[in-house]
Amino acid sequence: MANIKIVTDSSVTIEPDLVEELDITIVPLSVMIDGTVYSDSDLKEEGKFLNMMKSSKNLPKTSQPPVGLFADTYERLTKEGAEHIVSIHLTHALSGTVEAARQGANLAGLDVTVIDSTFTDQAMKFQVVQAAKLAKADSSLTAVLEGIRDICEKTELFIGVSTLENLVKGGRIGRVTGLISSFLNIKVMMELKNHELITVVKGRGLKTFNKWLDSFIEHAQGRKIAELGISYCGTADLANAFKDKLAVFGAPVAVLETGSIIQTHTGEGAFAVMVRYE
Protein backbone atom coordinates (compact mmCIF):
# COMPACT_ATOMS: atom_id res chain seq x y z
CA MET A 1 0.00 0.00 0.00
CA ALA A 2 1.02 3.61 -0.49
CA ASN A 3 3.17 5.30 2.14
CA ILE A 4 0.94 8.28 3.01
CA LYS A 5 2.07 11.08 5.30
CA ILE A 6 -0.24 13.52 7.07
CA VAL A 7 0.55 17.23 7.38
CA THR A 8 -1.39 19.93 9.21
CA ASP A 9 -0.77 23.42 10.58
CA SER A 10 -0.21 24.73 14.09
CA SER A 11 -3.74 26.08 14.51
CA VAL A 12 -4.57 22.49 15.43
CA THR A 13 -4.91 21.82 19.15
CA ILE A 14 -3.64 18.31 19.76
CA GLU A 15 -1.90 16.23 22.40
CA PRO A 16 1.88 16.04 21.72
CA ASP A 17 1.94 12.28 22.26
CA LEU A 18 -0.61 11.81 19.47
CA VAL A 19 1.57 13.83 17.11
CA GLU A 20 4.52 11.58 17.86
CA GLU A 21 2.59 8.31 17.91
CA LEU A 22 0.85 8.96 14.58
CA ASP A 23 3.83 10.65 12.89
CA ILE A 24 1.93 13.87 12.11
CA THR A 25 3.89 16.77 10.60
CA ILE A 26 2.84 20.23 11.81
CA VAL A 27 3.79 23.32 9.81
CA PRO A 28 3.84 26.37 12.12
CA LEU A 29 2.15 29.68 11.52
CA SER A 30 3.87 32.73 13.00
CA VAL A 31 2.87 35.51 15.38
CA MET A 32 4.29 39.02 15.52
CA ILE A 33 4.31 40.61 18.97
CA ASP A 34 5.43 44.24 19.14
CA GLY A 35 7.59 43.87 16.06
CA THR A 36 9.15 40.52 16.94
CA VAL A 37 8.13 37.44 14.94
CA TYR A 38 7.75 34.12 16.75
CA SER A 39 7.11 30.67 15.34
CA ASP A 40 3.88 29.30 16.78
CA SER A 41 5.76 26.08 17.53
CA ASP A 42 7.85 27.98 20.11
CA LEU A 43 4.78 29.26 21.99
CA LYS A 44 3.22 25.98 23.11
CA GLU A 45 4.17 26.17 26.80
CA GLU A 46 1.02 26.52 28.93
CA GLY A 47 0.16 30.19 29.46
CA LYS A 48 3.26 31.50 27.68
CA PHE A 49 1.57 33.22 24.76
CA LEU A 50 -1.32 34.62 26.80
CA ASN A 51 1.13 36.34 29.14
CA MET A 52 3.01 37.78 26.16
CA MET A 53 -0.22 38.99 24.57
CA LYS A 54 -1.45 40.62 27.79
CA SER A 55 1.81 42.52 28.22
CA SER A 56 2.16 43.56 24.57
CA LYS A 57 1.56 47.15 23.47
CA ASN A 58 -0.48 46.09 20.45
CA LEU A 59 -2.62 43.10 19.54
CA PRO A 60 -0.34 40.40 18.07
CA LYS A 61 -0.66 39.66 14.36
CA THR A 62 -0.74 36.16 12.94
CA SER A 63 0.73 35.09 9.60
CA GLN A 64 0.26 31.96 7.52
CA PRO A 65 3.32 29.78 6.87
CA PRO A 66 5.41 30.84 3.85
CA VAL A 67 4.77 28.96 0.62
CA GLY A 68 8.42 27.90 0.62
CA LEU A 69 8.08 26.27 4.05
CA PHE A 70 5.27 24.07 2.74
CA ALA A 71 7.31 23.20 -0.35
CA ASP A 72 10.34 22.31 1.79
CA THR A 73 8.17 20.18 4.11
CA TYR A 74 6.61 18.24 1.23
CA GLU A 75 10.02 17.72 -0.40
CA ARG A 76 11.52 16.44 2.86
CA LEU A 77 8.68 13.97 3.45
CA THR A 78 8.98 12.71 -0.11
CA LYS A 79 12.73 12.18 0.28
CA GLU A 80 11.95 10.25 3.48
CA GLY A 81 9.75 7.86 1.51
CA ALA A 82 6.29 9.39 1.33
CA GLU A 83 4.48 8.31 -1.83
CA HIS A 84 1.61 10.69 -1.18
CA ILE A 85 0.97 13.55 1.24
CA VAL A 86 -2.38 14.66 2.64
CA SER A 87 -2.22 18.20 4.02
CA ILE A 88 -5.16 19.29 6.20
CA HIS A 89 -5.59 22.94 7.19
CA LEU A 90 -7.77 25.48 8.96
CA THR A 91 -10.70 27.04 7.18
CA HIS A 92 -9.90 29.63 4.54
CA ALA A 93 -12.34 31.97 6.33
CA LEU A 94 -9.79 32.48 9.11
CA SER A 95 -6.46 32.25 7.27
CA GLY A 96 -4.78 31.95 3.90
CA THR A 97 -2.87 28.89 5.13
CA VAL A 98 -4.68 26.37 2.95
CA GLU A 99 -3.91 28.42 -0.18
CA ALA A 100 -0.26 28.70 0.86
CA ALA A 101 -0.22 24.91 1.19
CA ARG A 102 -1.63 24.53 -2.34
CA GLN A 103 0.98 26.91 -3.71
CA GLY A 104 3.69 25.04 -1.81
CA ALA A 105 2.58 21.77 -3.38
CA ASN A 106 2.68 23.34 -6.85
CA LEU A 107 6.11 24.79 -6.17
CA ALA A 108 7.44 21.41 -5.06
CA GLY A 109 5.76 19.67 -8.00
CA LEU A 110 4.74 16.77 -5.78
CA ASP A 111 1.67 14.58 -5.32
CA VAL A 112 -0.02 16.41 -2.42
CA THR A 113 -3.73 16.47 -1.62
CA VAL A 114 -4.48 19.74 0.19
CA ILE A 115 -7.70 19.84 2.20
CA ASP A 116 -9.59 22.73 3.76
CA SER A 117 -10.88 21.16 6.99
CA THR A 118 -13.60 23.86 7.27
CA PHE A 119 -12.61 23.96 10.95
CA THR A 120 -9.60 24.58 13.20
CA ASP A 121 -8.38 23.64 16.69
CA GLN A 122 -9.58 20.26 18.02
CA ALA A 123 -12.33 20.05 15.39
CA MET A 124 -9.53 19.90 12.83
CA LYS A 125 -7.67 17.47 15.08
CA PHE A 126 -10.51 14.97 14.66
CA GLN A 127 -9.83 14.85 10.91
CA VAL A 128 -6.04 14.85 11.25
CA VAL A 129 -6.01 12.00 13.77
CA GLN A 130 -8.41 9.88 11.71
CA ALA A 131 -6.33 10.43 8.58
CA ALA A 132 -3.11 9.57 10.41
CA LYS A 133 -4.60 6.39 11.89
CA LEU A 134 -5.79 5.26 8.47
CA ALA A 135 -2.41 6.09 6.93
CA LYS A 136 -0.61 4.16 9.65
CA ALA A 137 -2.88 1.18 8.95
CA ASP A 138 -1.70 1.25 5.29
CA SER A 139 -5.11 2.34 4.00
CA SER A 140 -5.43 3.56 0.43
CA LEU A 141 -5.47 7.26 -0.42
CA THR A 142 -9.16 6.94 -1.30
CA ALA A 143 -9.92 5.44 2.12
CA VAL A 144 -7.98 8.20 3.90
CA LEU A 145 -9.83 10.94 2.02
CA GLU A 146 -13.19 9.28 2.63
CA GLY A 147 -12.34 9.03 6.33
CA ILE A 148 -11.55 12.73 6.51
CA ARG A 149 -14.78 13.63 4.71
CA ASP A 150 -16.83 11.43 7.02
CA ILE A 151 -15.34 13.02 10.16
CA CYS A 152 -15.88 16.52 8.78
CA GLU A 153 -19.57 15.86 8.15
CA LYS A 154 -20.04 14.60 11.72
CA THR A 155 -18.26 17.48 13.49
CA GLU A 156 -19.58 20.65 15.12
CA LEU A 157 -17.54 23.54 16.54
CA PHE A 158 -18.91 26.14 18.94
CA ILE A 159 -16.86 29.04 20.29
CA GLY A 160 -17.54 31.39 23.18
CA VAL A 161 -15.84 34.76 23.59
CA SER A 162 -15.95 37.07 26.59
CA THR A 163 -15.03 40.15 24.59
CA LEU A 164 -15.25 41.08 20.92
CA GLU A 165 -12.22 43.36 21.17
CA ASN A 166 -9.75 40.95 19.59
CA LEU A 167 -12.14 39.98 16.80
CA VAL A 168 -12.69 43.65 16.01
CA LYS A 169 -9.01 44.58 16.10
CA GLY A 170 -8.06 41.49 14.11
CA GLY A 171 -10.58 42.32 11.40
CA ARG A 172 -12.67 39.16 11.98
CA ILE A 173 -15.82 40.86 13.27
CA GLY A 174 -17.10 41.38 9.72
CA ARG A 175 -17.09 37.60 9.32
CA VAL A 176 -19.42 37.04 12.28
CA THR A 177 -23.03 36.92 11.19
CA GLY A 178 -25.60 38.53 13.47
CA LEU A 179 -23.36 40.74 15.59
CA ILE A 180 -23.29 44.48 16.15
CA SER A 181 -19.65 45.41 16.61
CA SER A 182 -20.42 48.30 18.99
CA PHE A 183 -21.36 45.84 21.74
CA LEU A 184 -17.84 44.79 22.68
CA ASN A 185 -18.37 43.61 26.24
CA ILE A 186 -21.00 40.94 25.73
CA LYS A 187 -20.61 37.19 25.95
CA VAL A 188 -21.14 35.59 22.56
CA MET A 189 -21.53 31.97 21.48
CA MET A 190 -20.88 31.27 17.81
CA GLU A 191 -20.83 28.22 15.59
CA LEU A 192 -18.23 27.80 12.87
CA LYS A 193 -20.24 26.27 10.06
CA ASN A 194 -19.56 26.19 6.33
CA HIS A 195 -16.60 28.57 6.79
CA GLU A 196 -18.75 31.15 8.58
CA LEU A 197 -18.99 32.24 12.22
CA ILE A 198 -22.69 32.35 13.06
CA THR A 199 -23.95 33.90 16.29
CA VAL A 200 -25.88 31.35 18.35
CA VAL A 201 -26.58 33.35 21.51
CA LYS A 202 -25.35 36.53 23.18
CA GLY A 203 -25.82 38.12 26.58
CA ARG A 204 -24.09 39.39 29.69
CA GLY A 205 -22.42 37.25 32.32
CA LEU A 206 -21.33 33.63 32.44
CA LYS A 207 -24.96 32.54 32.56
CA THR A 208 -24.95 33.09 28.78
CA PHE A 209 -22.39 30.29 28.36
CA ASN A 210 -24.06 27.99 30.89
CA LYS A 211 -27.47 28.40 29.24
CA TRP A 212 -25.89 27.60 25.88
CA LEU A 213 -24.30 24.44 27.29
CA ASP A 214 -27.64 23.28 28.67
CA SER A 215 -29.24 23.83 25.26
CA PHE A 216 -26.36 22.01 23.53
CA ILE A 217 -26.75 18.98 25.80
CA GLU A 218 -30.45 18.95 24.97
CA HIS A 219 -29.67 19.36 21.25
CA ALA A 220 -27.22 16.44 21.27
CA GLN A 221 -29.41 14.05 23.26
CA GLY A 222 -30.29 10.98 21.26
CA ARG A 223 -27.16 11.21 19.11
CA LYS A 224 -24.16 8.98 19.74
CA ILE A 225 -21.07 11.09 20.44
CA ALA A 226 -17.66 9.61 19.65
CA GLU A 227 -15.56 12.30 21.32
CA LEU A 228 -15.56 15.88 22.56
CA GLY A 229 -12.89 18.54 22.77
CA ILE A 230 -12.83 21.68 24.89
CA SER A 231 -10.15 24.28 24.23
CA TYR A 232 -9.61 27.39 26.31
CA CYS A 233 -7.68 30.66 26.51
CA GLY A 234 -6.84 31.65 30.09
CA THR A 235 -7.73 29.43 33.01
CA ALA A 236 -9.20 25.96 32.57
CA ASP A 237 -11.88 26.43 35.26
CA LEU A 238 -14.85 26.94 32.93
CA ALA A 239 -13.59 24.26 30.54
CA ASN A 240 -13.35 21.71 33.36
CA ALA A 241 -16.81 22.67 34.62
CA PHE A 242 -18.15 22.07 31.11
CA LYS A 243 -16.30 18.76 30.97
CA ASP A 244 -18.10 17.61 34.11
CA LYS A 245 -21.49 18.45 32.58
CA LEU A 246 -20.63 16.83 29.25
CA ALA A 247 -19.73 13.58 31.04
CA VAL A 248 -23.43 12.74 30.65
CA PHE A 249 -22.65 11.57 27.11
CA GLY A 250 -20.12 8.97 28.25
CA ALA A 251 -17.64 10.05 25.55
CA PRO A 252 -13.98 11.01 26.07
CA VAL A 253 -13.45 14.75 26.54
CA ALA A 254 -10.04 16.36 25.85
CA VAL A 255 -9.47 19.67 27.66
CA LEU A 256 -6.54 21.57 26.15
CA GLU A 257 -5.22 25.12 26.00
CA THR A 258 -5.67 26.49 22.48
CA GLY A 259 -2.66 27.87 20.63
CA SER A 260 -1.47 31.39 19.92
CA ILE A 261 -3.24 31.62 16.55
CA ILE A 262 -6.71 31.15 18.02
CA GLN A 263 -5.93 33.09 21.21
CA THR A 264 -4.93 36.13 19.17
CA HIS A 265 -8.37 36.34 17.57
CA THR A 266 -10.56 35.27 20.51
CA GLY A 267 -8.86 36.91 23.51
CA GLU A 268 -8.64 35.83 27.14
CA GLY A 269 -11.61 33.96 28.56
CA ALA A 270 -12.57 32.36 25.24
CA PHE A 271 -13.28 28.67 24.82
CA ALA A 272 -14.50 26.23 22.20
CA VAL A 273 -16.57 23.08 22.47
CA MET A 274 -16.12 20.63 19.62
CA VAL A 275 -18.05 17.41 19.08
CA ARG A 276 -17.60 14.45 16.78
CA TYR A 277 -20.65 12.27 16.35
CA GLU A 278 -20.55 8.57 15.51
Question: What is the structure's pLDDT at 181?
Answer: 41
Per-residue confidence (pLDDT) for residue 178, from 0 to 100: 45
Distance CA 126, CA 228 (A): 9
pTM confidence score: 0.91
Report the C-alpha gap between 10 and 156 in whole angstroms. 20
Phi-psi region of 138 (alpha: psi -120 to 50; beta: other; left: phi over 0): left
d(CA 35, CA 125): 31
List the chain domain ranges: 4-153, 154-277
Q: What does the mean pLDDT of the chain come to?
A: 91
Which residue(s) pair with 25 in the sheet?
A: 7
Give pLDDT, residue 88.
98
Tell me, what amino acid is at 4?
A: I
Q: How far is CA 232 from CA 32, 158, 229, 240, 259, in A?
A: 21, 12, 10, 10, 9
Domains 4-153 and 154-277 share a fold: no
pLDDT of residue 186: 79
Instruction: Give the range among 20-34, 114-128, 148-162, 170-184 with minimum mean pLDDT.
Output: 170-184
pLDDT at position 126 over 50: yes
pLDDT the model gives residue 163: 65
Q: What is the mean pLDDT of residues 149-178?
A: 73
Of all residues in the chain, what percent carry a pLDDT higher than 90?
73
- pLDDT for the residue 168: 54
Architecture of domain 154-277: 2-Layer Sandwich (3.30)
Judged by average pLDDT, the poorest of 18-27, 70-79, 100-109, 194-203 is 194-203
pLDDT greater than 70 at residue 1: no
Q: Considering the domain 4-153 in this protein, what is its CATH number?
A: 3.40.50.10170
Instruction: Tell me which amino acid residue 247 is.
Output: A
Q: What is the pLDDT of residues 75-110, one digit of tens each?
A: 999 999 999 999 999 999 999 999 999 999 999 999
Q: How many residues does the chain have?
A: 278
Task: Specify which residues 160 forms β-bridges with.
Answer: 189, 271
pLDDT of residue 241: 97
Q: Hey, which bits of 2-135 come out as E strands?
A: 4-9, 25-27, 30-33, 36-39, 61-63, 84-89, 112-116
Query: Is residue 216 within 8 Å of 210, Cβ to Cβ?
Result: no
